[in-house]
């Protein structure tokens, strides 16, 4: 099995002229991109009123996913970090406006101008530190924060992702929640190792009926019932209640918590040193007598 591309090299290096052209000329990849983009657009749940929307395609590459947006009558802006991919998009006369940029540094778009956003197989790249200056948590914070600001209130963002692990998925989700999004993960074909796909479905603005997480598709291709929500093996992992991360334990004056102090005292006892007994006052900050 081939190594994950985000592990091999940074995206602007991995998708060089040769790799970008090979990627875009593959009929298999074109078909997969079309299916993933159609599903992302479906989960975006745009109003069916025939009015074109302005959508953002994050990690647009050579414009394969943008073609789906154009075919459905929408205008779009594509952002990608690979100059080679964008050059091919220009060659293919992609109908969207193309921007060269690093989503981990923020999107730089005006507040409230975007009606919806999609991303196919791109967001997990932010979880890698490709440079000494890269900190995944800070890059995810910059990305989701700028995305939240540029979306219109009530708009959705749908990201098809390939998280490397549960921890990576939770890192992405927690970063989105901290930025203010509501939503969750939709899993299509959860019991198929080949067909399984994960979509992060986020809503911008206060929680409402429109921010409810839709159901994923089962093995028959139909949407699952709502009672499957919350199970890792089922179609939807819902976090629409936007749980905030727990507050960190307060530290004492020297910056060490109670658990650390107790552990150090145990180490001293094992060495045979005289150590004061533990009590409810251990590691608690003492009030000044003056």
Give, for all 290 residues of the chain, the pLDDT tens digit.
456 777 777 787 888 899 999 999 999 999 999 999 999 999 999 998 889 999 999 999 999 999 999 999 999 999 999 999 999 999 999 999 999 999 999 998 999 999 999 999 999 989 887 766 778 999 999 999 999 999 999 999 999 998 888 999 999 999 999 999 999 999 998 888 888 999 999 998 765 545 566 777 766 666 654 433 444 444 444 443 334 444 555 555 556 788 888 888 888 888 888 888 988 888 887 766 55
What pLDDT shows up at residue 60?
Answer: 95
**In the chain, what are the domain boundaries?**
5-238, 247-290
Predicted TM-score (pTM) of this structure:
0.72
Which pLDDT score, from 0 to 100, does residue 195 have?
86
Count H helices and E strands in the chain, helices first. Answer: 9, 8
Task: Please report the beta strands in the chain, taking only residues with DSSP state E, as ranges in sequence order.
Answer: 54-58, 75-80, 97-100, 114-120, 151-161, 182-188, 197-203, 236-238
Pairing state of beta strands 236-238 and 182-188?
antiparallel
Interatomic CA distance for residues 154 and 9, integer angstroms: 36
Q: For residue 280, which of 255, 261, 256 has the smallest C-alpha distance? A: 261
d(C-alpha 79, C-alpha 58), whole Å = 5
Strands across the sheet with 75-80, in order?
97-100, 75-80, 54-58, 114-120, 151-161, 197-203, 182-188, 236-238
CA distance 68 to 256: 54
Find all residues with CB under 8 Å of 200, minimum gap 6, and list them.
Answer: 123, 157, 158, 159, 161, 172, 173, 176, 183, 184, 185, 186
SS (H, E, C) 25-54: HCHHHHHHHHHHHHHHHHHHCCCCCCCCCE
Architecture in CATH of 5-238: 3-Layer(aba) Sandwich (3.40)
Decide if 162 contacts 3 (C-beta within 8 A): no
Contacts of 271 (CB under 8 A, 6+ apart): none
Task: In whole angstroms, give the CA distance from residue 57 to residue 70.
Answer: 11
- Closest CA relative to residue 210, chosen from 147, 151, 153, 172: 153
The DSSP call for residue 104 is G
- Give bridge partners of residue 54 from the DSSP assignment: 75
């Amino acid at each position: 099995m081939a190594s994950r591309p985000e592990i091999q090299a940074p995206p602007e290096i991995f998708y060089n002229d040769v790799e970008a052209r090979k990627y875009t000329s593959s009929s298999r990849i074109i078909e997969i991109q079309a299916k993933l983009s159609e599903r992302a657009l479906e989960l975006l749940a745009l109003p069916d009123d025939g009015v074109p929307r302005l959508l953002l395609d994050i990690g647009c590459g050579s414009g394969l996913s943008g073609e789906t947006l154009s075919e459905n009558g929408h205008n779009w802006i594509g952002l990608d970090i690979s100059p080679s991919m964008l050059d091919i998009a220009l060659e293919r006369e992609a109908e969207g406006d193309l921007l060269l940029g690093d989503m981990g540094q923020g999107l730089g778009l005006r507040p409230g101008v975007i009606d919806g956003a999609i991303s196919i197989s791109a967001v997990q790249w932010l979880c890698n530190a490709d440079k000494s200056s890269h900190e995944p948590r800070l890059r995810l914070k910059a990305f989701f924060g700028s995305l939240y600001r540029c979306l219109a209130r009530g708009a959705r963002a749908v990201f098809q992702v390939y998280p490397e692990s549960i921890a990576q998925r939770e890192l992405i989700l927690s970063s989105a929640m901290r930025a203010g999004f509501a939503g969750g993960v939709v899993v299509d074909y959860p019991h198929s190792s080949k067909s399984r796909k994960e979509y992060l479905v986020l809503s911008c603005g206060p929680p409402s009926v429109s921010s409810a997480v839709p159901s994923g598709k089962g093995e028959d291709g139909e949407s699952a019932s709502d009672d499957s929500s919350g199970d890792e093996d089922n179609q939807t992992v819902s976090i629409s209640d936007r749980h905030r991360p727990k507050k960190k334990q307060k530290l004492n004056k020297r910056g060490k918590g109670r658990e650390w102090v107790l552990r150090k005292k145990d180490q001293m006892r094992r060495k045979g040193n005289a150590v004061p007994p533990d009590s409810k006052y251990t590691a608690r900050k003492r009030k000044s007598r003056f």
